[in-house]
Amino acid sequence: MNPQNSSVRKIVMASMLATLTFVATRVIQIPLIGSGYVHLGDCFVLLSGWLMGPFYGAAAAGIGSMLADLLSPYAIYGPATLVIKALSAMLAAVTVAPFGRLFGRSDALARIASGISGGIVVPLGYFIFELWIFGFGVAIIDMPGIALKEVFGIVCAMLVFYALRKTKLIDRYFGG
């Protein structure tokens, strides 16, 4: 495959993951106390980082998540979501290999640890954003719910990742 085809392929796959992130965020939403909701989009934020790497994965995660916010009652969160979810995917992408070396043969532990490292950014990022926009009361009330949905996202991402790996789709479309 020539380099131009490789770049086009990466853009297409990142666009697909951004779309999946958007759809997974908008289709099933379970409201949280305070603001926000639990959704499957966080699963695809981590998958975007793991499958596409730090730059394309961050773009897919940030854009898909931001669009979901912009087309919802939570549109005010759109710009913050772009940055927060992009950073989450980026951190998950850059930490999976070092955690893999740390944990040796346990890919699952490496992915859990990288999911946690990427997931920590989300409640902290939204805390800072809400502190700035709404004040301390709202920011602190929302933090536990946001952290809980990140745990849900890590579990979901692990299940989907290993299902894709078992079917060999990761090797075929993302190069392993």
8: domain CATH number is 1.10.1760.20
CB 81 within 8 A of CB 62: yes
**Cα–Cα distance for residue pair 146/97, rounded to 1 Å:** 26
Q: Which among 170, 175, 113, 124 has a CA at the least distance from the CA of 147?
A: 124
Count structural domains, the chain: 1
Average pLDDT over residues 70-84: 94
pLDDT tier, 65 (very low <50, low <70, confident <90, very high otherwise): very high
Residue 82 has a pLDDT of 98
Amino acid at 10: K
CA distances, 27 to each of 17, 24, 72, 136 (Å): 15, 6, 11, 30
pTM of the model: 0.92
pLDDT tier, 116 (very low <50, low <70, confident <90, very high otherwise): very high
**Cα–Cα distance for residue pair 18/64, rounded to 1 Å:** 4
Domain extent, residue 115, equals 3-174
Amino acid at 154: I
C-alpha of 137 from chain center:
26
Residue 75 has a pLDDT of 94
Residue 174 has a pLDDT of 78
Q: Is the pLDDT of residue 176 over 70?
A: no
pLDDT tier, 12 (very low <50, low <70, confident <90, very high otherwise): very high
Report phi then psi at 86, rounded to 5: -65, -45
Alpha-helix residue ranges (DSSP H) falling in 3-133: 3-27, 41-70, 78-102, 107-133
More confident residue, 148 or 172: 148
